[in-house]
A = this chain, B = another copy of it.
Amino acid sequence: MTHTPSIKICIIEDDALILKSLQQVLNNAEGYSVTGTFFSAEAALENLKEHHPDVLLLDIDLPGMSGIEAIPKLHKLQPELNIVMLTVHEESEIVFSALRQGAVGYLVKGSNSKFLLQGISEVFDGGAPMSPSIARQVIASFTMSKETSLSDRELEVLQKLSNGTNNKQIAEDLFVSTNTVKAHIKNIYKKLHVHSRAEAVSKAIKKGWI
């Protein structure tokens, strides 16, 4: 019997050899226990809740529903579940979209077992295991681009637009006339090639300007 409660792990992996190997490593290590294994996302979605895992290792390349597609469905089933992707090679675009779907990290299959255990512990402790290059891409995507053709005043107005502020209120906030506000908005529309507040706000947020 273990002294500290083990991290309960489920694994979705269609390759029986890899699954076996993962299972062996995890069950032989102190503090980790595999409570369930599945060969497909479909199977996991049906029975996962019975195994109440802390961490789920999820293969990306699965027959039927892909690992990435499965993420939102698994989260719906068990919202607080920490999903860690398993990949063969570290292809950034795929890993990236997995993270976007809600995975908290990923592990490369075949890396040594120390890495595996460390990664799982990191996830359990609230971390997010990933390689340096993926980490950088994540940071970059979340950074604001700042390359805008808008003037400071226009950005200020745009910010107000995103709060749903109307022209009259913006005018009061900026101590100018509503006509001035309208003029700024018209210029914003010209620069962004849009024709409404909603579209301007959408574009600006997606570009990270506001």
Contact = CB atoms under 8 A, between A and B. Distances in A.
A162 interface: yes
Contacts of A162: 198-199, 202
Copies of this subunit: 2
Contacts of A205: 201-202, 205-206
A180 B135 CA distance: 43
Nearest to A72: B146
A100 B143 CA distance: 5
A129 B136 CA distance: 9
Contacts of A19: none
Interface of A: 72, 75, 99-102, 104-105, 122, 125-133, 135-136, 138-144, 146, 161-164, 166, 194-202, 205-206
Contact of A99 (B105, B142, B163, B166): B142
Contacts of A199: 162-164
A166 B128 contact: no
Given A127-B133, A132-B128, A205-B206, A99 B139 contact: yes
A163 B129 CA distance: 34
A-B pairs, top 7 by smallest CB distance, nearest first, are: A127-B132, A164-B199, A197-B198, A128-B135, A162-B202, A164-B196, A128-B136
A137 to B, nearest CB: 9
Contacts of A195: 164
16 contacts: A100-B144, A102-B143, A102-B146, A104-B139, A104-B140, A105-B139, A122-B132, A128-B132, A128-B135, A128-B139, A129-B132, A130-B135, A135-B135, A161-B198, A196-B198, A197-B197
Given A127-B132, A196-B197, 19 more contacts: A75-B146, A99-B143, A101-B144, A102-B146, A104-B139, A105-B139, A122-B132, A127-B131, A127-B135, A128-B135, A163-B202, A164-B195, A164-B196, A164-B199, A197-B198, A198-B198, A198-B201, A205-B205, A205-B206
